């Protein structure tokens, strides 16, 4: 039998802090899954049910990340988070669930009190130190419904499963106190750092932390049923060290009418990725001179101000997105915000370059995929273009170092978290060359500087020459929509090549390279004229040049509009938008004429070709309807059917950052 230790800490009041500080009506979108903890691709926890207590908290891979919450009111217990908590039969009644960009809000009735619960992720992209801090908050706020005082205790329980890839792995857990915080810590015994790569895997190195301020708190590790039974008896038994043991925090709030508090969840992965043979620490600890306790202490100190900042950011995002594209569009953007960020990891290479590595979740697990960077980029262009540089730096290095020798960019840099070179089995030559050139032009445009282009001009020139030779009428090759297979004469891929060439000319002009600018801008305009003839199909343009009576979304045209390139006549987009309106099904616009499935990111890009807000909203409404009604309870899918509320595949991917493209028309944060 394990040696047990009672751990009780003194009570002091924590001043109330409203968790519902926003104005206006709550967001009405019933999310396919609700973001709870969104630190990176490995620490990505979601509620996949309408009620927080109707299902287990899960990783985006659907592996369990047990997280329970119980409120004791006058001796009666109410479970508000996590399904089937042993020994707690009464459920709270959830009356609200709402997703904002940085916060997910819940409200419950627990007998005579209201419980407000908020999961907050202070992911401010203009503050990389803060954004990379691997700590997030759970705020709880209790208020009397009848005006009377009530005896209140709140109980949270987490599991070492947060720190394993599979449930059979042995773990160690411990409890300790440092500088006014009580820490519950768990990790695998093996600690095989960066020892696994792949898609549907979870981290099994580093350490998971469950942390609370010490006043009024009891905490410990032990067997889950014992912890819950002890909570019901009014005490908590804990061992300072235990194997595969659950971790629990109890806050004694006393007899109150109102009260609030918070707990923190975090993860120290020690090393995050391997980059061409070098193990890199997370950005917050790039130099190895910080500790995770430093980050928790800072997070605790910053908590009051950060919660207010989160609320202000959420309000501003909703206001600006609603102005740009309507309320439904804004709610989709709010749901996309943390999903897009959580599919990335921020590190810094030995040469000082920023790397914002994506993981190609639920696709093939690639790291730093160019055609994932391209669709996800609008959100990062809007809030910090330096992050888009960080999404491209590894691809530039790969070519400029001589490790990648082909005249077009690599598809990826490996399989997450190992970035030692491309592992995808096929190239996407026109796709990736167009992506890199267009995005470099976009970075220059939104940074109001050509510095980034000048730094990489030599390899940009190699890539644009490839597009000039092969881009107008692409041969039989893959594009980003690779799930649709190879096909030649792809009209939308041709648009990408033409816009890529125009983007190069545009950058050359901004750099004072007048002859080069004129050459490539004229080339792009000439190619656009040829494209219009080759793709013309009467009232729309074709899927492929050689197949009449076909159509496809020409979403790549949007950069002509956003960057002000003036390559294609406005009539091209107008004709396409008018035709698309006749092809919409219940849940959106199909990708093309071949199937009823679509890509949700491309719908928003295509909608952004519209010249009126009403037309834009007409494309967004079916997409909103899909997310609101889909029976697939997973973090938003981007590959879905348009004739039924089912996903084709994919979930939790960063490409939903592409929803923000409409907001790039007005650079308004």
Tens of pLDDT, residue by residue over 625-664, are: 999 999 999 999 999 999 999 999 999 999 999 999 999 9
- Beta carbons of 70 and 155 less than 8 angstroms apart: yes
Ranges of residues in the chain whose predicted pLDDT is under 70: 1-24, 84-89, 222-244, 482-483, 667-669
Tokens of 136: 């997030």
Q: Within the chain, which residue ranges are assigned CATH 2.70.98?
A: 5-282
* Among candidate residues 490, 375, 384, 380, the one with its CA nearest the CA of residue 430: 490
Q: Which SS3 state, helix, strand or coil, does residue 557 take?
A: helix
* Among candidate residues 117, 121, 76, the one with its CA nearest the CA of residue 96: 117
pTM recorded for the entire structure? 0.94
- Beta carbons of 150 and 113 less than 8 angstroms apart: yes
CATH tag, 353-665: 1.50.10.10
- Beta carbons of 441 and 467 less than 8 angstroms apart: no
Residue 432 has a CB neighbour count (10 Å cut-off) of 27
Q: How much is the CA Rg of the chain, to the nearest whole Å? A: 26
Tokens of 659: 């929803």
Residue 233 has a CB neighbour count (10 Å cut-off) of 9
- Residue-level pLDDT at 216: 72
Strand 418-419 relative to strand 273-275, pairing: parallel
Tokens of 442: 């976009």
Helix axes 600-607, 570-580, angle to 10 degrees: 130
Cα separation of 346 and 37, whole Å?
17
Q: Within the chain, which residue ranges are assigned CATH 1.50.10.10?
A: 353-665
Tokens of 439: 């995005």
Burial of 396 (0-12, 13-18, 19+ CB in 10 A): buried
**Quick one: DSSP state of residue 366?**
B
CATH for the 5-282 domain, from 1.20.1270, 2.70.98, 2.40.50, 3.40.50: 2.70.98
Tokens of 666: 């007005």
């Amino acid at each position: 039998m394990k040696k047990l230790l009672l751990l009780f800490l003194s009570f002091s009041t924590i001043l109330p802090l409203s968790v519902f500080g926003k104005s206006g009506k709550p967001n009405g979108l019933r999310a396919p899954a609700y973001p709870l903890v969104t630190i990176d691709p490995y620490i990505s926890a979601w509620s996949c049910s309408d009620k927080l207590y109707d299902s287990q908290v899960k990783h985006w891979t659907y592996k369990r990340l047990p997280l329970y919450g119980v409120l004791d009111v006058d001796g009666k217990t109410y479970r508000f988070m996590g399904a089937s908590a042993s020994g707690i039969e009464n459920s709270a009644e959830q009356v609200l669930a709402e997703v904002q960009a940085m916060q997910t809000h819940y409200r419950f009735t627990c007998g005579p009190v209201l419980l407000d619960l908020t999961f907050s992720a202070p992911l401010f992209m203009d503050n990389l130190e803060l954004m990379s801090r691997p700590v997030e908050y759970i705020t709880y706020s209790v208020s009397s419904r009848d005006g009377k005082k009530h005896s209140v205790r709140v109980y949270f329980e987490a599991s070492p499963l947060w720190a394993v890839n599979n449930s059979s792995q042995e773990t160690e857990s411990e409890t300790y106190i440092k500088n006014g915080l009580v820490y519950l810590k768990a990790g695998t015994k093996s600690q095989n750092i960066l020892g696994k790569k792949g898609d549907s895997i979870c981290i099994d190195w580093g350490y998971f932390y469950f942390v609370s301020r010490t006043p009024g708190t009891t905490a410990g590790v032990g067997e889950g049923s014992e912890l819950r039974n002890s909570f019901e008896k009014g005490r908590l038994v804990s061992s300072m060290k235990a194997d595969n043991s659950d971790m629990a925090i109890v806050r004694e709030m006393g007899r109150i009418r109102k009260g609030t508090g918070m707990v923190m969840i975090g993860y120290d992965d020690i090393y995050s990725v391997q980059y061409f043979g070098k193990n890199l620490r997370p950005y917050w600890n790039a130099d190895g001179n910080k500790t995770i306790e430093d980050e928790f202490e800072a997070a605790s100190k910053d908590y009051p101000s950060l919660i207010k900042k989160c609320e202000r950011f959420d309000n501003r995002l909703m206001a600006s997105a609603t102005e740009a594209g309507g309320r439904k569009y804004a709610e989709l953007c709010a749901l996309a915000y943390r999903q897009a960020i959580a599919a990335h990891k921020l590190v810094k290479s030995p040469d000082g370059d920023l790397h914002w590595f994506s993981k190609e979740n639920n696709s093939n697990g690639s790291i730093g995929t160019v055609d994932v960077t391209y669709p996800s980029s609008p959100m990062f262009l809007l809030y910090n273009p330096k992050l888009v540089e960080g999404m491209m730096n590894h691809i530039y290095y790969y070519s400029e170092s001589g490790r990648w020798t082909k005249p077009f960019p690599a598809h990826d840099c490996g399989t997450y978290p190992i970035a030692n070179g491309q592992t995808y089995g096929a190239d996407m030559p026109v796709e990736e060359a167009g992506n890199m050139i267009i995005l470099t032009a976009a970075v220059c445009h939104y940074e109001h500087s050509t510095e980034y282009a000048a730094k990489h001009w030599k390899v940009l020139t190699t890539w644009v020459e490839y597009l000039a030779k092969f881009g107008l009428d692409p041969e039989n090759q893959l594009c980003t929509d690779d799930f649709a297979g190879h096909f030649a004469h792809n009209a939308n891929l041709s648009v990408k090549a033409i816009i890529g060439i125009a983007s190069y000319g545009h950058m050359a002009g901004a750099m004072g390279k007048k002859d080069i600018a004129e050459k490539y801008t004229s080339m792009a305009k000439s190619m656009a004229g040829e494209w219009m003839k080759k793709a013309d199909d009467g009232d729309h343009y074709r899927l492929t040049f050689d197949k009449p009576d076909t159509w496809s979304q020409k979403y790549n045209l949007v950069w002509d509009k956003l960057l002000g390139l003036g390559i294609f006549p406005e009539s091209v987009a107008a004709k396409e938008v008018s035709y698309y309106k006749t092809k919409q099904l219940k849940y959106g616009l199909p990708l093309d004429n071949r199937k009823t499935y679509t890509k949700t990111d491309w719908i928003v890009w295509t909608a952004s070709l519209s010249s009126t807000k009403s037309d834009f909203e007409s494309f967004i409404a079916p997409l909103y309807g899909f997310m609101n009604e889909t029976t697939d309870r997973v973090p938003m899918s981007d590959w879905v059917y348009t004739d039924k509320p089912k996903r084709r595949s994919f979930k939790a991917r960063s490409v939903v950052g592409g929803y923000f493209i409409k907001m790039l028309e007005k650079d308004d944060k």
